[in-house]
A and B are shown apart, each in its own frame.
Chain A
Amino acid sequence: MASTELATRPPESGDPRPTGGRLAIPRNAWRALTSMRTALILLFLLALAAMPGALLPQRSLNQQLVDQYFTDHPSIAPLLSRLGFFDVFAAPWFAAIYLLLMISLVGCVLPRTIEHAKTMRAAPVATPRNLGRLPHHGSATLDVGPEEAAERVRHRLRGWRKVETATGSGRTISAEKGYLREFGNLLFHLSLIGLLVGFGAGKLYGYGGQVIVLADGGQFCNTGILGYDSFQAGLRVDGTNLQPFCVRVNDFEASYLPDGQPESYHASIGYQTTDDLNAGRVDQWRPYPLEVNSPLRLDGSRVYLINHGYAPRFTVTFPDGQKRTGEIQWQPVDATTYLSQGATKFEPPGVTDEEKRRTSQLAITGLLAPTSSGGQVVTSVFPALRDPEVAVDVLRGDLGLDDGRGQSIFEVDQSKIDSGQLKQVARANLVPGQSITLDDGTIVTFDDVRQWVALQISHDPGQDTVLVFAVLMLIGLGLSLSIRRRRFWARLTPTADGTRTVVEIGGLARTDRAGYGEEFDRLRADLLDAPHTGAEVDGSGADGPNTAAKDG
C-alpha cells in the first residue's frame, strides 16, 4: 500500500511563509481554524453536542415529555433548560459548532478548489530520475524500436493524462489519473454548504401545523394560523402569507387485522388549489385519496394524514325543551384499542343572567370505547367502531370558559372541580340512543359516534435545495472514496544499436487507498511481459541494472 503524507495534507499547512507583523494573530487564527485538526475536533464536538438531543426529551418533539422530566428531576431540569438542553438543535452553542465547522470547511476547501483548478490544467509531474526508488517499479528490454515501444505505452495508457518529453537519447512519458477524486472531494464538501443553506431556508420560511377535521364533510382552509389546532412557524413566518388552499374530508376508512393491528387507512378528500380559489371555483372539489405515505402535494405545500379518532355526539335537552348538540373530537389514549377520552362542553341556552349562565354550564367527560367489551367498566377491545359505548360523568357548574385562560378541549379544568365550582351530577354508561336524566330534568342523550382525522400541513421552501445538494454530496462522496489518484512514469531508452528499447516504469499512488499495486502489476504485465517481445524483465523487488547505471 502506498500512501503519501503529501497527498492528504491540506495545502496551507505546508506554507513556509514567515508570520509576523500586525496580521499575525488573525492569520494564525485563520490558519488554525482551517486546519484539518480543527475540523476533526469540531466534528467530534458536533457529534457530542447532538447526543443530548437524542437522550433528553426535546420541546420541539414532545413538550409533555419535557414537563414530565421537570416533575421527575426538579433539581437539574431548570439548569438543563437554561443551558438549552431541551432545545439542543436551536441552542446557540450547537449553532456555534456547526457554523465554525462550515467556516473551517470553506477556508479549507476554497484554496483546495483553486489548487485543483490549476492542477487540472497542469501537465503531469516530470519523471523522477530514479524510478527504481518508487514503491512500484519495473523494467525490461523490449525487442522493438523506441518508436513502437512508445506507441505501445501510449496505447496502454489511454484515458490517462500524459505528457512526453524527449531526453538525451530517449524519451519519458509521465501520466496521471484519478483527478475526479479531488473533484469528488470538493463537490462533497461544497455540497454540504448548499445543504445547510437549504436547511436554513426551510427553518426561516417554512411552517407546519396540525388540524383535526371531522371525517364526514369537515373542511380546513389554509388561510391563517387560527385555522390550525397547533402551528409551528419558521422564524420569518408571521402567518399573514400562508399559501391559500382548502381541503374537505369526505370519508375515512380504516381496516384492521383480526388482532386489531391496523392494516390500512384511507381518507377520501377533496381539495381546492390557490388557483381554484382565486378563480372563484369554490363549489368544486378535486378528489384525492389521502393515505399514509401518500400526501397531497399542492405546489409548495403538502397535506398528510397523520392520525384519526372518534367524536361522540351528545344531545342535551334542557328543562325548557331547548336542545343543544355537541360533537367534538375525543383523544385516543390507547394506541391499540383506540379507547378515547374527552370532554364535550355546553352552555345553557337562553340564560341572560350572567352569574346563572356561568354556574350552570355542563360538561360530559369520560371514556369512549369504539368496541366495548360490554362489561361493567367500559373498556375497548378493538379499534374499529363496532359496538361503541361511553362511560361518562356529567359535570355542572363553572367550566372556567370565561377565565380568559386557554383550556384543553379534551378535559375540564381540574382546579374548578377541586374548588367545588364544578360538581359531578351524574355518571352512566351509555350506548348510542341511550340517555340519562339529571336532577333538574335535563336529558343527556348519546346519539352516535363520528370519525375525525388529524391532518398535518407542511410548507418547506428549502427542501428541494436540500435534496439536490444531498444527491451532489453523495456523488462527490462516491467519487472521492472510490477513485484513486495515481501516477505512472515510463522512461524509454534505445539500446546502442537502436533495435531494442529499455523500458523502465514506476508508479505512485497519491492517496491513502490501497490497491494501486494490483493495477500496477497489470500495467507492468501488459507493457513489459508481452510474450512476443522476448523481453528480459526486472520486477519491483530488484533494481534493474540499467536503471542503476543510468541514474548513477
Chain B
Amino acid sequence: MLTEFALYSDRLFMAAVGVYVLAMVLHGAEYAVQRSAKGVLVGAGGPAVETDAPPPDAPPRDGSGPGRAERYGRMGVSLVVLGAVLQAASIVLRGLAAQRWPLGNMYEFTSAICLAAVVAWLVVLRRSPASRPMGLFVLLPVVILLFLGGTVLYAPAAPVMPALQSYWLVVHVTTVSIASGLLMVPGVASLLFLLRRSGKLEGFAERLPSADALDRLAYRITIIAFPLYTFAIMAGAIWAEAAWGRFWGWDPKETVAFVAWVIYAAYLHARATAGWRSGPAAWVNVAGFAAVIFNLFFINMVVSGLHSYAGLG
C-alpha cells in the first residue's frame, strides 16, 4: 500500500512536470502567433492546431492571430491549473507513503516551493488576467527546478532522521517553502521589468504586462512573502534552540537566510528612497531571490553545515 502511494506520487510528479512543459509550449505558441499576426497577418508560423468549429466564446474568426493567441493562452492557463492539482496530489501521496509531513528532503522541498510559486501565479492571474503573457517566464524556473528536483535531488519516500522529527519541521519548512515559492514570482516580475525597461528585445518584451504593472506585481507579492519569510526564519531559530542548543549560530544556511532577509529589507527601503524606487529596487529584488535560491541549492549541496542533516545534530 505505502509503496504504491510512493509510486503514484512519483508518477503524478512526472505528470505535473509534463503538463507544465505543455503549458509552456502553449504559452510559447501564444507568443509566436501574436508575433506573426502582427507581421504577416494571416496565421503564418503558428502551430497547425486547428479545430473544426470555433469555440462559442472565441473572438471573431477571421484567421488572424490574436484570437488564436487568446485560445492558446487560455489553454496554457488551464494546463497550469491541472499541473498544480497533479503536483498537490503528488505531495499528499508522498506524505501518506512516508507517513510524515512531506517536506523532509531537498526533492520534497523543491516540489513544495514550485507548487507555492505556481499557486501564487494562479492567484495573480485571477486578480489581473492581463498578466498572462508572463506565464511562460514563471513556468520556466518552475520547470527547471522541478527537473532538478526529480533527477539530481530525488530521494525515495522514507522516514526522516530523529533531528527532523519535530512539529517545528512542519512550521518552519512549510513556511519557508511557501515564502520562497512566493518570492519566485516577484523575482521573475522584476527581471522582466528590467528587461522591458532596458528597451532591448523590443518586439518580445512588448507583449509583456507594462513595466509599471510588473513593478507593482513584484512589490505586492514581496510584501506578503517577506513577513512570511521572516516568520519562517524565526520558527527556524526556535527549532534550532530545541534541536541544536542555540537559536542562532551562523551556520551557513542561517547566514545566507540572514543575507537574503537583509537584501529584501533593502528592497523595501529602496522602494521608499528617491532615486532608487524602480530600476535599482528591481535589481535588489532579483538579488534577493538569487540569495534564496543560492541558499537552497549551493548551501545544501556544496557547503556542509548542520542543515545538511548529517549525523545526529
Contacts and interface: CB of A to CB of B under 8 A. Distances in A.
B242 A294 contact: yes
A304 B162 CA distance: 13
Given A58-B250, A481-B226, A474 B231 contact: yes
A1 B262 CA distance: 27
Contact of B269 (A43, A291, A335): A43
Interface in A190-204: 199
A50 B258 contact: yes
B245 A302 contact: yes
A292 B160 CA distance: 13
A36 B269 contact: yes
Nearest to B265: A43
A458 B162 contact: no
A205 to B, nearest CB: 14
A532 interface: no
Given A47-B266, A50-B255, A263 B162 contact: yes
Contacts of A5: 274
Given A36-B273, A40-B269, A474-B230, A307 B312 contact: yes
A15 to B, nearest CB: 15
B54 interface: no
B124 to A, nearest CB: 13
A496 to B, nearest CB: 45
Nearest to B280: A40
A382 B241 CA distance: 30
Contacts of B311: 307, 335
B246 interface: yes
B242 A61 contact: no
B245 A208 contact: yes
A39 B299 CA distance: 28
Interface string A291-307: 11111000000101111
B212 to A, nearest CB: 8
A93 interface: no
Contacts, number: 143
B130 interface: no
Task: Report, as a range, how many residues of chain B touch the other chain.
Answer: 35 or more
Nearest to A466: B247
A295 B256 contact: no
Most chain B CB within 10 A, of A39, A88, A304, A478, is at A304
B299 A293 contact: no
B271 interface: yes
Interface in B297-313: 299, 303, 305, 310-313
B99 interface: no
Contacts of B252: 53-55
B45 to A, nearest CB: 37
B120 interface: no
A120 interface: no
A478 B234 CA distance: 14
B272 A261 contact: no
A341 interface: no
A265 B234 contact: no
A504 interface: no
Interface in A308-345: 308, 335
Q: Which 9 A-B pairs have the closest CB atoms?
A: A8-B272, A54-B255, A43-B266, A456-B245, A54-B252, A293-B166, A292-B162, A47-B262, A458-B245
21 contacts: A37-B276, A40-B273, A43-B262, A47-B259, A50-B262, A51-B255, A51-B256, A53-B252, A54-B255, A55-B252, A89-B250, A208-B246, A257-B159, A263-B159, A264-B162, A306-B244, A456-B245, A460-B247, A470-B234, A481-B224, A512-B272
Interface of B: 158-159, 161-163, 165-166, 168, 216, 219-220, 223-224, 226-227, 230-231, 234, 237-239, 241-252, 255-256, 258-259, 262-263, 265-266, 268-276, 291, 299, 303, 305, 310-313
